[in-house]
Structure 1
Amino acid sequence: MKKVLETETIGVIPPHKRHGKPSDLFAVWVGVNMLLLTAITGGLGTTVFNLPLVDAFVALCIGCLVGGLAMALHSAQGPHLGVPQMIQSRGQFGSYGSFIITVLVVVIYMGWLASNLVASGLAFSNLVPGMATWQGILLLTAANVLVVIFGYRAIHFMMKVGAILVGLGFVWAIVMIFYGGHVTAATFSQGEFTIAGFTGTVTAAALWVVAFAPYVSDYSRYLPQGTGNKPAFWATYTGVVIGSMLPMTFGILVGSCIQGNDIISGISLLLGPAGAYLLWSATITTSFSNAVNLYGAVLCSITAVQTFKEDFIPGAKARTWYAIVLGSIAFVVGYAGHDNFLSMLMNVISLIFFTITPWTAVNLVDYYLVKGGSYDVDSFFKRNGGIYGKWSMPALISYFVGLALQIPFLKTDLYTGPMVALLDDTDVSWIVGLVLTSILYYLISSKPGLGASASYSVSK
């Protein structure tokens, strides 16, 4: 039982508890994407954005390949430092500066968690006669909480099961749609290519992958320290790209073969009884794989508290209570938003890109170009930030300037920037934020008087 139940939370993983190999990361990032929400996100290309099938597929490829680069570069940090991603972020932002980002990341986790709960809750209501959507959401919330209570090993195991169980199901379903005659010459010609639609599909796919960045190291931190950057990077990159593209391709295919935008109902319509298997297997897998969002929210919440309570490095009991509380909140959010699911999903996508892109830029530039992966890990856990201080002005200036630079290019339900109309109704805010924040942080990170430390070292 002790071997199955994870006893660690946000502390450094000691050498004697390190285990596994890079290929484990491949299985995790294939399995974690075997979700109905992944297919729905891909399906946006032919439903919401109304692109032709081939154009939507190309856009998905570009989004996953580009987004996967940033995400996998974060993953490679885990084996070296042995801490969760947002603890490591204190090396760039300082202890209090990182607190701000960590709270934003918790909100993002909860958005993804609730979105996945709704997608699977809707599937359950289609599969089980008489079951209301809220009942499906409640059932899946309980499953997520259970997996998080057991922790790291349970998540890895469930992801491997999902990679096989649902991965083969998506491959088989794609073949069945073609074999069943649902795809005709007209299927490839319907829809209309627009720059806004193509860019929107690229953005949705890239975001799906980049959204893992704030917690990808949570699943690589247990690997032996000598694993190396390249093996961890390639195992993560290939896993997340393949894992994302498979269900997303299925999603755009279903979207191009149905009327309207209800991908879940479309699966049953196109595949009949065979669709029921896919819905069941994907829903069951989602009930466990969505735990990665709850697990990340728990670790980030503990990280936020530890900012002000230096000796707070709790174990499994605290993880249990945090999981129950945050899971309950996610249930309420999912229930409240399930009637306007696609709108909620698009708003979550916009929020994630807006807040995460500048952080990703600062973290990657700092780790790979400024400090070369050399950090004082002990300082991560000090209330005063150790050698990194409470506030790191280079990172904070770059982050908030990056946020501001995105605003004119932003397109959401709540606000559309003036540059969107000039760019043919296209949202390129995440590209602007990523590129300009990276350049800005690199230029000012070593300027004297801004709080940059002169020396950095890994301390285990």
Structure 2
Amino acid sequence: MQEHASTAFVGSDIERGVDMSSTMKREQSSMVEESEEYQTAPAMKGRLVWIASKLHVEERGIERVPDDARTDTSYWNISSMWLAANLVVPSFTIGVLGQPLFGIGFLDGALVIIFFNLLGTMTVCFFSTFGPAFGLRQMVLSRFWFGWWGVKLVALFNLLAGIGWSAANIIVGAQLLNAVNPDLPGWVGIIIIALCTLFIAFFGYKVVHAYEYWSWIPTFIVFMVVFGTFAHTGDFRNVPMGVGKAEIGKVLTYGSTVFGFGTGYTSLAADYTVYQPSNRPRRRVFLSAFLGIYPTLLFTELLGAAMATAMTLNGGDNIYQAGYNESGIGGLLGAVLLPHVGLFGKFCLVILALSIVANNCPNIYSVALTLMVLGRWTRRVPRFVWTILGSIVYVAIAIPGYSQFEAVLENFMHFIGYWLAVYEGVALTEHFIFKRGFSGYNVEDWDNPSKLPPGIAAVFAFGCGICGMILGMSQTWWVGPIGKLAGPEPHGGDLGFELGFVFAAVSYFVLRTVELRLFKR
């Protein structure tokens, strides 16, 4: 109880914008928040924090960002964050996978990309508006929907998704480096890209935003080179779309993959707007995020879908299919660039490989913040230490998964889409129906378990959402009974995220109504 009181006392001081140390420089006080936990920390942690302050590493964890620390006044910072994070090879890969994995034609693949990305990115843009409004990270905000204890379950799912997604992304980068130099082992490429990512994410919010602000420019130039080179080859083929029940199953399953990638940043959206001023118009924040993420996903995924059609030339006997078989996405891009632009093509592939850094920085930065929600003991470990440990874990997953990239990426995109649909079902129902918008939050309760919802309704609704997901999912290892009806045997079609959302939202509405009557909070 004493620890909780201390934390609450510090939290209230932060909300009033009180300077926690009169001897601290103004620019450091905007990034560093003293608390009793820091003052009584072990000697080792004290040394780490001291070193971090000297290096200007962001030390703020999940504490609320006070108004006087909201120094990020650029709307372009919001747009460029999602522009750089999605103008990357993994986005391009999602477009490519439609043809070899699902047998999708170009036109139907393009329609899936347009519609399911629009659906998936809406929640990323919406929850980005919560950062300026409340100054709280996404997982901390989730306490207002899932309660003090229930959010720990959500944090575990977010942790698994962030680590898994980072592992899948980095495999793509390693494949690109392997296409440049076939003698370079996959594990070496993985470590190179992971170290570059760690260097950026280690320093925190300001450095991550600064990197994303500029890093998209060389990547965009390279993608335009890829686009122009491929268009010049004339090897695009308008693979016809399918018909009947088989086409429905393919579209639903591929759509689940596209949705999973598009909605993937929902559970960390507010993390990258918490330093925006609290008086930011929500519509402008939403639009800034939308203009950064949605057009970027359309460009990269449609380009990938177009290039994938070339793998059907001569019944699959062509340089594109051969490159894809040998080095995955890196081999496909190499087949387009290397024969036409030579050594410059290798340079382009290296730039694309390093674009993974922009994709993984948000994941790894937010993994550390997610870990800090799991318990008060995790908050005693500095954020940058969790960033290092998270990087080690996803590298350990990526190295053995290098040879199974397509399966790794598809499975993780489905997993992300599934669990985030359930998360969104609960969060949106609470926000719009029970809190009735932003005015229904008392932000001072963010760290007070007795004032937050009990979380019982949210946890049970989350379980109901998982049941809906299981009934509708279509994977090689499991096809739900409803999923079987959405397409031909044996795989049907994937309805996992749709049913997960509906089951979670409906059950939460019923259970939360009862919970409010019983607990009055």
Q: Judge same fold: TM > 0.5, yes or no.
A: yes
Pairing partner for 1:427 from 494, 505, 509? 494
Report if aligned partners of 1:125, 1:136 keep a CA contact under 8 Å in 2. Answer: yes
CA contact (8 A) 1:395 1:441 kept: yes
Q: Deviations over 1:389-425 (max 9, x none)?
A: 5x32221222111111221111123321122221111
Any idea what SS the aligned residue of 1:45 has? helix
* Pair 1:9 & 2:61 matched: yes
Task: Choose 45-54 or 329-338, whichever is displaced more.
Answer: 45-54
- Alpha-carbon distance, 1:368 to partner: 3.2
Change (3 A) 1:62 1:252: same
For residue 148 of structure 2, what is the amino acid of its counterpart? Answer: S
Match of 1:55 in 2: 108
* Aligned partner (choices 285, 296, 305) of residue 355 of structure 2: 285
Work out whether residues 464 and 503 of structure 2, in 8 Å CA contact, stay in contact via their aligned partners in 1. Answer: no
The range that moved more, 188-197 or 84-93, is 188-197
More divergent stretch after superposition (431-440 vs 224-233)? 431-440
Residue in 1 that maps onto 2:451? 387
1:365 aligns with 2:429: yes
Q: How many residues align?
A: 442
The answer as to whether partners of 1:388 and 1:453 remain within 8 angstroms in 2 is: no
1:319 is matched with which residue: 383, 402, 415?
383
Equivalent residue runs for 1:75-224 within 5 Å: 75-128=128-181, 130-183=183-236, 187-189=237-239, 192=242, 194-224=247-277
Q: Within 2, Cα distance between the matches of 1:35 and 1:84?
A: 25
Distance 1:255 1:358 in 2: 32
Amino acid in structure 2 at the alignment position of 1:415: W
- Give unpaired runs (5+ residues) of structure 2: 1-26, 32-55
Match of 2:308 in 1: 255
| Whole-angstrom distance in 2 between the partners of 1:179 and 1:67 | 33
Q: Measure, in 1, the Cα distance between the counterparts of 2:119 and 2:112.
A: 11
> Is the partner of 1:131 in helix, strand or coil?
coil
Q: Measured at CA, do residues 355 and 189 of structure 1 come closer, stay the same or move farther in structure 2, by a change above 3 Å?
A: closer
Indicate whether 1:25 and 2:25 are aligned.
no
Query: Is 1:411 aligned with 2:478?
Result: no
SS of equivalent residue, structure 1 residue 10: coil
Kindly state the Cα deviation for residue 133 of structure 1 after the two structures are TM-superposed. 0.6
Q: 1:452 to 1:228 in 2, by over 3 A?
A: farther
**How many angstroms apart in 2 are the aligned matches of 1:203 and 1:380?**
33
Cα deviations by residue, 1:290-310 (Å, 9 ceiling, x for unpaired): 11111111110111133xx5x
SS in 1 for 2:154: helix
Structure ranking higher on relative contact order (CA contacts 8 Å, 6+ apart): 1
Which position in structure 2 is the counterpart of 1:336? 400
- 1:445 corresponds to 2:512: yes
Structure 1 residue aligned with 2:346: 276
Distance 1:125 1:451, change over 3 A: farther
Task: Give 2:462's aligned amino acid.
Answer: Y
Q: Deviations over 1:354-398 (max 9, x none)?
A: 22211111112222332122323333223xx13115x32221222
The CA deviation at 1:25 is 1.0
Shift of 1:168: 3.1
Q: Which amino acid aligns with 2:293?
A: V
Shift of 1:275: 4.0
Distance (whole Å) between structure 2 residues aligned to residue 230 and residue 442 of structure 1: 27
Segment drifting more, 333-342 vs 343-352? 343-352
Residues in 2 aligned to 1:365 and 1:344: alpha-carbon distance in whole angstroms: 32
Question: What SS does the corresponding residue of 1:7 show, helix, strand or coil?
Answer: coil
Q: Distance in 2 between matches of 1:39 and 1:354?
A: 21
Question: 2: distance between equivalents of 1:213 and 1:81?
Answer: 16
Q: 1:225 to 1:430 in 2, by over 3 A?
A: same
Say if 1:452 and 1:353 are closer, same or farther in 2 by CA, change over 3 A: farther
Say if 2:287 is the partner of 1:234.
yes
Which residue identity lines up with residue 295 of structure 1 in the other structure? Y
Contact 2:465 2:504 in 1 (8 A): yes
The TM-score, its normalising length taken from structure 2, stands at 0.80
Which residue type is aligned with residue 392 of structure 1? G
Q: 2:97 aligns with which of 38, 44, 64?
A: 44
Q: Deviations over 1:47-90 (max 9, x none)?
A: 21121112111110111111111221111111111111011111
* The structure with more radius of gyration: 2
Residues 92, 303 of structure 2: 8 Å contact kept: yes
Contact 1:64 1:205 in 2 (8 A): yes
1:392 touches 1:452 (CA, 8 Å); kept in 2?
A: no
Q: CA deviation at 1:40?
A: 0.9
**Do the aligned partners of residues 319 and 420 (structure 1) sit closer, same or farther apart at CA in structure 2, a change above 3 Å counting?**
same
3-state SS in 1 of match to 2:499: helix
Amino acid across the alignment from 1:7: E
TM-score (norm 1): 0.90
Q: Considering only aligned residues, what root-mean-square deviation do their CA atoms show, in Å?
A: 2.1
Q: Percent identity?
A: 18
Give the 3 Å change call, closer, same or farther, for CA 452–42 of structure 1 in structure 2: farther
Rounded to whole Å, the distance in 1 between the matches of 2:346 and 2:259 is: 29
Check 1:249–1:448 CA distance in 2 against 1; reply closer, same or farther (3 A cut): closer
